[in-house]
Amino acid sequence: MSIDKTPSIGLQKASGLFRRQIFIPLAALIVLILFNLIADPSFFEISYGTNSAGNPVLSGYLITILDNASELAILAIGMTLVTAASGGQDISVGAAIAISGSVVLRVLCGDNPRPDEMQASILTAFLISCVVSMLFGAFNGTLVAYFNIQPMIATLILYTAGRSIAAWINNNRLPIISDPSFGYFGTFIPGIPIPTPIFIAIICMAIIALVLKFTTLGLYAQSVGINPNSAKLNGINPAFIKFITYVIMGLCVAVAGFIKVTRFSTINYSVVALDIEMDAILAVALGGNALSGGKFSMVSSILGAYVIQFLTTTLFKFNVSSSALPAYKAVVVIVLVVLSAPTVRETLKKAWNRLRAGSPARKEA
């Protein structure tokens, strides 16, 4: 393609981009950026100041977006794998975040909901919550992989019971941790002006990039999602691959739950991460991934997560009234999801090709 320097090379490149899965979330992001640029360029200003504790912080809409999208981006990683391998979605992640957050606080607080000193190191608490979350992930995974229950039904159990379990873990009390070092993970580390969740999200993305590059997890998940029987004939154990994606989802939930509780050093079982599972599924859909499983693009899903937060922050900025907010969001989401649906993309591609083939022909005529 690069050798053949015909005038249509630009069109060919554009057509290639069209076909690429990342096109839709990228285009959505660009549209949002352009919209904000035209409406109010100050949207992109980043200012440097200090917070009330006297530590340096960067602030601005972009920082807010990157900061608040962290949990969603991390969940999108797990949700993409779950979707690819099992052809269904885990709707229990919000409730599971409540559980993992509750575990962190329980380990740190012990029996006293308002401890002056933490009862264990933060690392210990985090690791224990990782184990607990992965066990719950394994529970979901077992139902889906070994009992062949529809993922949405299997995870409905934890979705229903999760928040009650979370409250039960802390004897129904709302612990508050006063030690400021706990809050560093959800806000700022003194001296570093960038919010910590951004770093945590980057670390998670780096890890999953390495895993996908150096292990066969991605390939196996796709092949199981496309056709479990042929995957089996090729020596892959489909049940185990499905199972392991739910365990990884559990790990993502633990990290996201940890960020959630460290943001405010406390938890509210009934509202923490409420409906976040829907946003995580949406991120996967916006990324152009087929929700019925199979091939996936991790980068597109993660980008989808940032698009959702970009949209939320934009709507807050333009002060859309509370009652109308869901409607605006719905319209944007409908457009994006329809555009990113594989069938629509196929049609668009065909239309584009016809346009490309048609325009010179008309000139000749």
What residues line the site for another protein (CB under 8 A)?
42, 49-53, 57, 59-61, 64, 68, 114, 147, 157, 160-161, 163-165, 167-168, 172, 174, 176, 187-188, 260, 263-264, 266, 268-272, 274, 312-313, 316-317, 319, 321-323, 325
| Least Å from the CB of residue 149 to another protein | 8
| Least Å from the CB of residue 280 to another protein | 15
Distance CA 52, CA 169 (A): 33
| Least Å from the CB of residue 27 to another protein | 24
Three state DSSP letters for the chain: CCCCCCCCHHHHHHHHHHHCCCHHHHHHHHHHHHHHHHHCHHHHCCEEEECCCCCEEEECHHHHHHHHCHHHHHHHHHHHHHHHHHCCCCCCHHHHHHHHHHHHHHHHHCCCCCCCCCCCCHHHHHHHHHHHHHHHHHHHHHHHHCCCCCHHHHHHHHHHHHHHHHHHHCCCCCCECCCHHHHCCCCCCCCCCCCHHHHHHHHHHHHHHHHHHHCCHHHHHHHHHHCHHHHHHCCCCHHHHHHHHHHHHHHHHHHHHHHHHHHHCECCCCCCCCCHHHHHHHHHHHCCCCCCCCCCCHHHHHHHHHHHHHHHHHHHHCCCCCCCHHHHHHHHHHHHHHHHCHHHHHHHHHHHHHHHHHHHHHHHC
| Least Å from the CB of residue 168 to another protein | 8
Residue nearer to another protein on the CB measure, 53 or 135: 53
| Least Å from the CB of residue 61 to another protein | 5
Residue nearer to another protein on the CB measure, 126 or 188: 188
Residue nearer to another protein on the CB measure, 35 or 168: 168
Residue nearer to another protein on the CB measure, 154 or 212: 154
Residue nearer to another protein on the CB measure, 102 or 289: 102
Residue nearer to another protein on the CB measure, 16 or 326: 326
Residue nearer to another protein on the CB measure, 65 or 221: 65
Residue nearer to another protein on the CB measure, 143 or 217: 143
Beta bridge partners of residue 49, listed in sequence order: 57
| Least Å from the CB of residue 162 to another protein | 9
| Least Å from the CB of residue 117 to another protein | 18
Residue nearer to another protein on the CB measure, 322 or 343: 322
| Least Å from the CB of residue 287 to another protein | 23
CA angle 295, 33, 58 (to 5 degrees): 105
| Least Å from the CB of residue 235 to another protein | 24
